[in-house]
Each structure stands twice: as structure tokens, then as C-alpha cells.
Amino acid sequence: MAHDLGFWILQALNALQLSMLLFLLSIGLTVIFGLMHFVNLAHGSFYALGAYFAASLAAVGGYWMGFFLAPVAVAGVGILLYSGLIKRMRKSGPMAQVLVTFGLIFVLLDVTRIVWGELALAIDVPALLSGRLSFLGVEYPTYRLFIIVLGLGIFAALAFVLGRTQIGAMIRAGVDNDAMAACLGINVERLFFIVFCVGCALAGLSGAVAAPLLSVAPDMGLQILIPTLIVIVIGGLGSLKGAVAGSLIYGFVQTFGAVLAPGLASVLIYALLAAVLVIKPVGLFPAKG
């Protein structure tokens, strides 16, 4: 079994699917981080909110309604929090930001428990994407392939926007040197607001996409937070390349680690993170040289 090519393809697809889910989450966080040096620990809570919104909307109008509207709803929550709280924390140090967003995790965790209850919710895979596809000689669930394609699609779109459009150039300039970008007439504050909303929407989207795979439980945001932070720290803050590289490294190390060395799988990824931090303290592909 373990020497069968199909088995390895299957594991590679699993790893890729995990990577893409993490990529959707980490890209928003990393650009918020890189653009404004803002540490948002509550990003995982946005992911949980996305999953809950998707579950509720799916119960009303089917899966696709949840898929399209959950990111919008999460972005709405993001806007509320931004104007009420985060805007005022922009100038304080990373320590204060970590603590405020840590408090926010507690608050959002209990708010989801109050609104949706303790029990885990489940939503079904849409009919269009249920079943399995034969791919490279292995049978693979269509829905997981859909996640991989979606992740790659979003990656391509973001690479295009960040690399080829004017707003992308402005964001890159802001990440590189925000004071200089502001001097050149770029409204960095507004840019940050847009990036923050898109980041929240992507977190909501990944929650909505992950909902049919995992059960939707209040602590799902806490559980995904650490992997997401590992991804962006390994990859380096603020860069698309870093987020992709970090997600792929995490996905493959985690999946293949679980297959090859089950006892060491979870230690492996933390050891890797520690090694990266010791050798390259700012991550593999930091946005700033």
C-alpha cells in the first residue's frame, strides 16, 4: 500500500487541499500584518464566523448562498470591528495589539456560543460537488478537488492584482515603506481598510469552504489560528510568495509527517518553525529585504 504510486498521489492531494485552505486564511493575515504591522490574532475567529454564517445561510438558501454571502457577512463584522476597535489600536505596540485581539478571540468565541449554541453544526456538500472524481488514477472526493482549484484560482487572482494592477502596486509600496508611500500621495489608511476587508472576506470564505469538511464548532477558530500563524511566520510577513510557500510547507509536512512518522508529525512542524526562526528570523520570503 505505502509503495503504491496512487497512495502518494492521494496524500499529495490531501496535502495540497490543506495547504490551499491555510493559504486562503493566511494571505489576508499576512498582508494586514505586512502592510500595517498589525497583529490580528482574531483572524481565526473570522474563519469560525465564516463557517457559522455559511452553516446558517446554507440551512436557508442552500450551500451556494452560504458560499457567496458568508464572506460578505464576515467582511461586515470586520468593518464593524475595524471602525470600533482596531483603528484606535493602530498606533499602539504589537504587545497591546496581541492582547486586544486575544481578548477579541474570547469575546467572539463566546458570542458564537451564545448565538449558535455549543453543539457542532454540519452542512452538506452541494450536489454538484458531491461524489468522487477519478484523477491521475486515484479516486478523489470532488469537493476536495474543488478546494484545491478554488485556492489556486484565488492565488492566481491575487498574484494578478498584486503584481499587475495599480492598486496592487500601491499595496506593495505600502508594505515596503508605508511612510514613503504616504508621501507619494497614496492613502495608506484607506488601502489598509480595503486590505483588511478583503482579508476578512477571505477568512470567511475559507471558513465557508471548510465547513462541510469539518464540523462547525466554536473552537474551530482557535484550532486554526496556530497553523495560520506558523504559515505566515515560516513564509515571512507581508508577501504572497511567503503565504503560498508557508502553506505548502505546512500542508506537506503535516500530511506526509502523519503518514511517515505518526509519532512525530506535530512536533515536526514546530521544530521546522523553530529552525526557520533561528536560521532566518524574518521567515523565508519576507516582503522587505
Query: Nearer to another protein by C-beta: 149 or 274?
Result: 274
C-beta atoms surrounding 83 within 10 Å: 11
Amino acid residing at 191: L
Task: Name the helix (H) or strand (E) containing 12.
Answer: helix 5-36
* 98: contact with another protein by CB under 8 A: yes
What is the b/e burial string over 173-197, where b = at least 16 CB atoms within 10 angstroms of the residue's CB?
Answer: bbbeebeebeeeebebeebbbebbb
* 117: contact with another protein by CB under 8 A: no
From 88, 90, 190, 288, residue interacting with another protein (rule: CB under 8 A): 88
* 113: contact with another protein by CB under 8 A: yes
From 79, 111, 152, 194, residue interacting with another protein (rule: CB under 8 A): 111
Query: What's the CA gap between 71 and 113, in Å, rounded?
Result: 20
* 289: contact with another protein by CB under 8 A: no
Query: Nearer to another protein by C-beta: 118 or 134?
Result: 118
Q: How many residues bind another protein (CB under 8 A)?
A: 40
* 201: contact with another protein by CB under 8 A: no
Query: Nearer to another protein by C-beta: 64 or 106?
Result: 106
Query: Nearer to another protein by C-beta: 99 or 129?
Result: 99
* 49: contact with another protein by CB under 8 A: no
From 114, 128, 167, 183, residue interacting with another protein (rule: CB under 8 A): 114
Distance in Å, CB of 22 to another protein, minimum: 16
- Determine the 3-state secondary structure of 212 from DSSP: coil
Query: What's the CA gap between 31 and 158, in Å, rounded?
Result: 11
Q: What is the DSSP letter of 120?
A: P
Amino acid residing at 282: V
Q: Could you tell me the sign of the dihedral formed by the alpha carbons of 58, 64, 67, 69, in that order?
A: negative
Query: What's the CA gap between 102 and 213, in Å, rounded?
Result: 27
Distance in Å, CB of 273 to another protein, minimum: 4
> Which residues contribute to the site for another protein (CB under 8 A)?
39, 85, 88-89, 92, 94-96, 98-100, 102-107, 109-111, 113-114, 222, 226, 229-230, 233, 263-267, 270-271, 273-274, 277-278, 281-282
